[in-house]
A and B are shown apart, each in its own frame.
Chain A
Amino acid sequence: MTTHTVLKVESLAFERNDAVLFQPVDFELKAGEALQILGVNGSGKTTLFQLLTAILPSSSGQISYREQPLSDCRYEYLSNVLFIGHQSGVKAALTVEENLRWMSPNNTSCEKISAALEVVGLSEYAQIHCANLSAGQKRRVALARLITSQAKLWLLDEPLTSLDKQGVELVERCMNQHLAQGGAILFSSHQDLAQVTTRNYKLEPLMEVA
């Protein structure tokens, strides 16, 4: 199979309150490829992810999924996207297992859930309420979705925040496996990954000279 373009972004821009957030973004993401978004704090990385998940409407530019504009294939695109945001969506009142079940596809088997918890090292915590977990452990709950999800395209906003060394290695292993299966990953991080081959894209803040 030849590698095809999964996601293509052309001169994407976003304006909020008449202020343009970053210089127009252009990149292409192919199957089996990982792209790391770099940028200083406040350069709009999280906003970029919200544009790519169609949570925010872009001001100008185009996003295409498999050569089709996003507006024409919204259902297909969103069914194939796994997005883990800065706020991970973990519910404090639910247990670890309930959270993962809730965030995984409908038909995920119990074995797969417990296998995923095993991989992220939370098996013993399965019945603990997430309110009692540390920040790193909550992040691991969210990252267990990397194992249960069947999505081809991963959009990960700061997946390594508050993870320990082993946690980072774990994410790297998951990423490599996903790439080997022909998946694509777009992620933001201030940290360089040792085990995963990535390309970089730097978000340039737009400096307006008054």
Chain B
Amino acid sequence: MANNLSGGFKAYLYRDILIAQRDRGDLSKPLMFFLLVAVMVPLAIAPEANKLSAIAPGLIWILALLATLLSIERLFSEDYADGSLEQLLISPNLLMMPILGKITAHWLVIGLPLTLLSPVIAIWFSLPISAMVPMMLSLALGTAVLSLIGAVGAALTLPRQGGVLLALLVMPLYMPVLIFGSATIQAAVDGLNWLAPLAMLAALLAVAIVLCPLAISAGLRIAKNG
């Protein structure tokens, strides 16, 4: 039975990564959005190093949040349309593991690339080198929380593709991530202790991993029931 549980996780993880890799065009949209806005801001505001580095912590996090939100709405809608969601729902095992598999896949194709791209933006915004590691750590943890919470919204807005409703639903829940995420970078820039806000992000992730799959399974069942 334990084998079955982890099997559901791995099977969905591999499948969704494979599908994402086939649809590279869709995959790159949120990342392009992240990069393009970041490139435009210095041109539109002022190319002075001290101004840019003052807004950078908040801006990087707003962009990461919006990029995740852009991509999360498709998490379940395609499965719903082609009938594979039904197959997921009739699996005899708990839904938690397949759901976590799908979300992990989403993080690997969105959150992780965002994290890896962020140093480019940090340099572009003249953030100090000492802030790089805290920034990447906060993005790695924080985007995982964003994927988990976003998936709850995506499940609840089925069978439609979330859109504005999804944004309204998850925005309030995204706020703590935004606050502690940008606080981590800000603290590192100011030379303060950045471990405290980062620990809050880690705590948020721990809570989200436990609670979000429950809400998502319930949401998916309601969606079929509607």
Contacts and interface: CB of A to CB of B under 8 A. Distances in A.
Interface stretch (A33-41, A73-81, A116-124): A73-81
A95 to B, nearest CB: 9
B84 A91 contact: yes
A93 B86 CA distance: 18
Contacts of B91: 78
A202 to B, nearest CB: 25
Contacts of A91: 15, 19, 82, 84
B203 to A, nearest CB: 34
A54 B83 contact: no
Majority secondary structure, A binding face: loop
A2 B221 CA distance: 38
Interface string A62-102: 00000000000011111101010111111111100010001
B92 interface: yes
Contacts, number: 66
Contacts of A90: 82-84
B54 interface: no
Interface string A94-115: 1000100011001000000000
A93 B90 contact: no
Nearest to B80: A87
A8 interface: no
A129 interface: yes
Contacts of A50: 86, 224
A106 B7 contact: yes
A89 B225 CA distance: 18
A79 B11 contact: no
B81 interface: yes
B89 A87 contact: no
26 contacts: A50-B224, A53-B86, A55-B86, A56-B225, A75-B92, A75-B93, A76-B92, A78-B92, A79-B92, A83-B86, A83-B87, A86-B83, A87-B81, A88-B82, A88-B83, A90-B84, A91-B19, A91-B82, A91-B84, A92-B82, A93-B18, A93-B23, A94-B15, A94-B22, A98-B18, A106-B11
In the A-B complex, the 10 residue pairs with the smallest Cβ-Cβ separation, listed nearest first, are A87-B83, A78-B92, A89-B83, A89-B84, A93-B22, A93-B19, A79-B92, A53-B90, A89-B87, A75-B92
Interface of A: 50, 53-57, 74-79, 81, 83, 85-94, 98, 102-103, 106, 129
Given A81-B90, A91-B84, 14 more contacts: A53-B86, A53-B89, A54-B90, A55-B224, A78-B90, A78-B91, A87-B81, A88-B83, A89-B82, A90-B82, A90-B83, A94-B18, A106-B4, A106-B11
